[in-house]
Chains A and B, each alone.
Chain A
Amino acid sequence: MSVGHVARGFEEAGIPTVSVFVRAFRHVAEVMKLPRAVITQHPMGRPLGGPGDRERQRTVIEAALGLFDSATAGGTVVEIGDAWRPGAVNR
């Protein structure tokens, strides 16, 4: 919810924003009517991808940045369908 307020505040101040939420918080992006949001199928606390998973992290960031070029109205929400996959972490 904190970032929801930040997104609305910056957008209202003239700075375009995009936010990356995990699926569990999709309702926050929708209820708070954020300008642009990307939703990942990741567990809470791991919004961009697993540790060391640069490929997934890049996919998510590129999808988010892409909304700056493609979104034409506030409330644009795009869901990335790729399921969570663990990163490469030694115990």
Chain B
Amino acid sequence: MTDIEPDPNPETLEQFKNSFSYGTRSDLTFKFLKSLSPEDAGEFFRQLLGEVGRSLDHGEVEPIHQLIFDWQVRGYERSGPSHEYDTAPFVAPPKPVSESKVGVLTSSGHFPAWDDPNPFGVENMTQAEAEARISEFMRDTPTLSAIPIDIDPGDLRVRHGGYDVRSVSHDPDVAFPLQTLIALQAEGVIGELSSPMYSFTGATSQGRLRKQALPGWIDRVKGDGIDVLLLVPV
């Protein structure tokens, strides 16, 4: 048996948990670990391994999913938004939703293959590069992509350095409800689905979004003649 030399600089639990957030072990489903204390992160892994062990016998994965969900909630609740308001704006819709023209805008990072926003001038940026450049996205002005509702599904792309896009890569309707709303339009649940639908990369400069991008977006989307707007953040 060979003796193992002790590492003179062993990785701390703090470094380990933080490595899941754009670090050496980056996994955006688990980047919430960075928001947890080392003690809570340790407790998460203890509970996770406990459920994984139990699943070997009973085969149920739901407790594992529930555990991840619960700890995501704990993690993100500790990193609350910096923008607080005292009052909520409110306007009443002009007509029932069954008669309304419904617009859609998501922050999921979808775009048509023929109109890639090419962040920072980079053509065909990969998801991995978007994740690697997340700090630059957070300082940049977002681009609004217009996606016609009759788009060929094969032409709908997604790229977003802020969340795990594996799920939406399998099915855009996980965050970009095109097929769902087409069905609801056919059944008369909504009056009309407005085309195009819109999307942008929500990981962006909040100041630039509010001051530089949003006024133009409002003019553009209102110009489509919508009655109401469905928003889907990720």
On A, residues with C-beta under 8 Å from B are 1-21, 23-25, 27-28, 31-35, 41-52, 54, 57-58, 61-62, 64-66, 68-69, 71, 73-75, 83-87, 89
Contact = CB atoms under 8 A, between A and B. Distances in A.
A62 B189 contact: yes
B96 interface: yes
B145 interface: no
B206 interface: yes
B41 to A, nearest CB: 16
B90 to A, nearest CB: 3
B232 interface: yes
Contact of B204 (A2, A19, A47): A2
Interface string B157-181: 0000001110110110111010111
A68 B230 CA distance: 10
A40 B88 CA distance: 21
Contacts of A62: 184, 189
Contacts of A32: 81, 83-85
B1 interface: no
Interface of B: 28-29, 32, 61-62, 65-66, 68-69, 72-73, 75-77, 80-93, 96-97, 100, 102-103, 105, 107, 142, 163-165, 167-168, 170-171, 173-175, 177, 179-181, 183-184, 189-190, 200, 202-204, 206, 209-210, 214-215, 217-218, 221-222, 226-234
B229 A5 contact: no
A45 B30 CA distance: 11
29 contacts: A2-B204, A3-B231, A5-B83, A5-B209, A5-B214, A6-B214, A7-B231, A9-B215, A11-B89, A12-B89, A17-B230, A31-B80, A31-B83, A33-B86, A43-B72, A44-B28, A44-B76, A45-B164, A45-B174, A48-B173, A48-B180, A50-B167, A54-B179, A61-B180, A62-B184, A69-B96, A74-B87, A83-B69, A85-B62
Contact of A25 (B175, B215, B221, B233): B233
Given A45-B234, A68-B97, A83-B66, A8 B89 contact: yes
Contacts of B209: 2, 5-6
A50 B175 CA distance: 9
Contacts of B230: 17-18, 20, 61, 64-65
Nearest to B167: A46
A74 B88 contact: yes
Contact of B175 (A7, A23, A46, A66): A46
A9 B232 contact: no
A34 B193 CA distance: 23
B198 to A, nearest CB: 10
A87 B169 CA distance: 12
The 8 closest A-B pairs by CB, nearest first: A74-B88, A74-B90, A51-B171, A3-B233, A51-B170, A75-B88, A33-B88, A45-B163
Given A51-B171, A62-B184, 20 more contacts: A1-B83, A2-B206, A3-B232, A4-B83, A7-B231, A9-B210, A9-B218, A13-B222, A16-B91, A16-B93, A17-B230, A24-B72, A28-B233, A41-B69, A47-B175, A51-B174, A57-B173, A62-B189, A68-B93, A87-B170
